[in-house]
Amino acid sequence: MNFSRALELYKAEPTLEKAKLLAAELAGEMTSKEKVRMLRGHAMGITVKNTLKNGRFYNGEAYPAGGCKRLGIPPVLFTDGPRGIVMGKCTCFPVSMLRGAAFDDELEYEVGEVFAKEASAHGANLFAGICINLLRNPMWGRAQETYGEDPYLLGKMGEALTRAMQDNGIIACPKHYALNSIEDLRFSADAIADERTLHEVYLPHFKKCVDAGAMSIMGAYNKVNGTYCCESKELLVDILRDMWGFEGFSLSDFFYGIYDGPRSLMAGMDVEMPYTFRYATLHSALKKGKITEEQLDLSVCRVLTALITTLPKHKDYPKSVILSSEHTALSRKVAGKGTVLLKNSGNILPIPQGKKIAVVGRYADKVNVGDHGSSNVFSPYTVTAFKGIQKRFGEANVSVYNGCDTKKATAAVKDSEYIVVCVGSDWLQEGEFLVNLGNIKKKPKGSGGDRANLRIPSEDVALIRAMASLGKKLVVNIMGGSAYVINEWHGVADAIICSFYSGLEGGNALADVISGDVNPGGKLPFTVAKREEDYPPFLHIGCKDKRIEYGYYHGYTLFDKKNIEPEYPFGFGLSYTDFELSDSSVSQDENGISVSVKVKNVGSVDGDEVVQVYVSGNNDKADRPVKLLKGFKRVSVGAGETVTADITLDIDDIKFFNPDKELWELDNSYDVFVGNSSRNVTQVGTLEI
């Protein structure tokens, strides 16, 4: 038996049980040393070569793990990339947070197909860019890599990306499992959560990806309830495998995810990435009886099962597909759909053709596509805000000043009627934190990681105020990974756009939106607070106690429960047109809960609306959120037209976890709400279960 023969037999009988039997037979052909090698990354030589040749320390080529030449077993070939493939030069898409703002899982599947093609063209067979950690506090530096604050939204978007990968023969790898949402202290933070909080808030999105067919999952650096994630039997076996039925393999977060090889293996951690470090002791541990051959076989078979079930769908794409016009066009489309219009006083947007526009600010003509860590995508070009607006409105009509000096900005805008100020953050202020691998007492300025605060820099605020005093029409374009506290200046802006980090075509997408070529339909995937203190507590470098309570409430559920008024609620976003929702109905059958609502465009231009369905469980004996998002659908509606949005809710999604019985249970009844944000909903019915 070799791997080629195993694939032939699997193709003749493509079932999971057959794959597991073939994996066991293959493992039986292997020596102990070959089994240990199957569980280790082998990227050292590749990293050294790419660093010396191309200056690319991280993932310049696919990172191999495992494999057995004697039996023809291919290695797992890892690539990263929440916003595109990080190897070589690839298409840089908008960050996941912007794609979450699009509220369109069908569109996310299309994005996933592009990722799969470009990953294949670079030789990878595993994609670890499905980041579905929950945004608990916007200070988290890597918030841009995920989809938002709501577990259901995270699950639907992660599920779509997972299916796209697995359907195209690429092993899908959701990350970071679990409760990973602090960056600077990611190696030492200990997230404390009770069972209900764990299962209802921080894990359901991972289960959706498992149910969607993910055949790998990446552990996190941090601890959960006192145990490192990559050594947690509760997470890796009790929940992931025994409760959810996961049949793939787990792999560690890179370099420092594992502290004790045998302990991690016995806890259910299968593969150490990207180099052989702690798992170098496994063969010795086997000889000394610290681990058993059966434990090795268990992990080896999981890797083999993933390869056997996934690789038959794999397609070898040529490098010519990378950065194709179809791919860059999709990136531009996604950026436009995820752009959120927060304010539009006097309907100053869209800007008519022929108007004089000045683009100013630190990011006016600067490449700013997000983090420079493991999610960095190297594209051969990026369209800045200025370049995109200049191309759309004409060179003679658009001026630029790239900076924050108010005098220079004032001079640059003197002939303009409209000012677009580009503010927010960049990779120096938020992102992955790699300085000394986080083991420092004081954080250097401009080193990425978690945000120091939730407000844009003071010089940016001064610039906004100076531009507002000139009596011109002022548009503020916020670029960044998640929410900002903006109450100190948002009143002086005529219009506010949230464009996040919008990819290589971001400037063109911004021009599409402000010109009206694209009617913005994005919705906030997080809550914008009036005060930093309205969010849950956060851990920063310097905190002596590395434990932090991850409570049951955060985001809009916290704001609802405490009756806190947000600056802008979760799910909020304006359009250049207006919509009316009517004739809503809700019913239940064996297929789930069906919600139907008519959406009428009562304005004069075509547009998209995101219909959101929230559910409230009625149970006097248990604490319940005021309401929870359990369904959404983005619909396109022509001017004056009416469409019907039909949304099906999975009955399992409205269950609550009973920690006493360790079971998911239904309440006796549920109130169902429909609207276009978490704070603009109408009850459409009550379900008696």
Two tokens, residue 548 = 């932090």
CA distance 560 to 568: 13
Two tokens, residue 15 = 């079932």
**Residues ≥6 apart with Cβ < 8 Å to 148:** 97, 100, 101, 135, 154, 525, 526, 570
Note the Cα 219 to chain centre separation in Å.
Answer: 16
CA distance 565 to 672: 22
Note the Cα 555 to chain centre separation in Å.
Answer: 16
**Residues ≥6 apart with Cβ < 8 Å to 482:** 97, 135, 138, 140, 143, 144, 526
Give backbone dihedrals phi and psi of 146, rounded to 5 degrees, phi first.
Answer: -115, -175
The answer to whether 321 and 117 have CB atoms below 8 angstroms apart is yes
The answer to whether 476 and 362 have CB atoms below 8 angstroms apart is no
- The helix (run of H) or strand (run of E) holding residue 223 is strand 223-224
pLDDT value, residue 448? 87
**Predicted confidence (pLDDT) per residue in 398-418, tens digit:** 999 999 999 999 999 999 999
In 3D, which of 482, 460, 461, 457 has the Cα closest to residue 371?
482
Q: Which amino acid is at 167?
A: D
**Residues ≥6 apart with Cβ < 8 Å to 524:** 101, 340, 342, 483, 498, 568, 569, 570, 571, 572, 573, 677
pLDDT value, residue 438? 44
Q: Show the DSSP H helices in 73-167 as ranges.
A: 96-101, 105-121, 151-167
In 3D, which of 253, 255, 168, 179 has the Cα closest to residue 217?
253
Two tokens, residue 199 = 């299962």
Pairing of strands 249-251, 607-618: unpaired
pLDDT value, residue 435? 66
The angle, 0 to 180 degrees and rounded to 10, between the axes of the packed helices 293-310 and 3-12 is 60
Handedness of CA 337, 141, 344, 603 (dihedral sign): positive
76-79, strands of its sheet edge to edge: 63-65, 76-79, 126-131, 171-175
Query: Which ranges of the chain have pLDDT less than 70?
Result: 52, 435-442
The reported pTM is 0.97
pLDDT value, residue 444? 73
Within 10 Å of residue 290's Cβ, how many Cβ atoms?
16
The answer to whether 252 and 211 have CB atoms below 8 angstroms apart is no
CA distance 568 to 554: 15
Q: Which amino acid is at 378?
A: F
**Predicted confidence (pLDDT) per residue in 440-490, tens digit:** 566 777 788 999 999 999 999 999 999 999 999 999 999 999 999 999 999
Give the three-state DSSP class for 94.
coil
Instruction: Please report the domains of the chain, with CATH numbers, ordered by start residue.
Output: 3-320 (3.20.20.300), 332-526 (3.40.50.1700), 579-688 (2.60.40.10)
Task: Report the catalytic residues.
Answer: 253
Two tokens, residue 240 = 């992931």
Q: Go through 406-420 and write b for each residue having 16 or more CB atoms within 10 A of its CB, e for each that does not.
A: beebbebbeebebbb
CA dist 542 → 185, 189, 513 (Å): 9, 12, 42
How many Cα atoms occupy the beta-carbon half-sphere of 573 within 13 Å?
A: 31
Two tokens, residue 520 = 């913005």
Note the Cα 670 to chain centre separation in Å.
Answer: 29
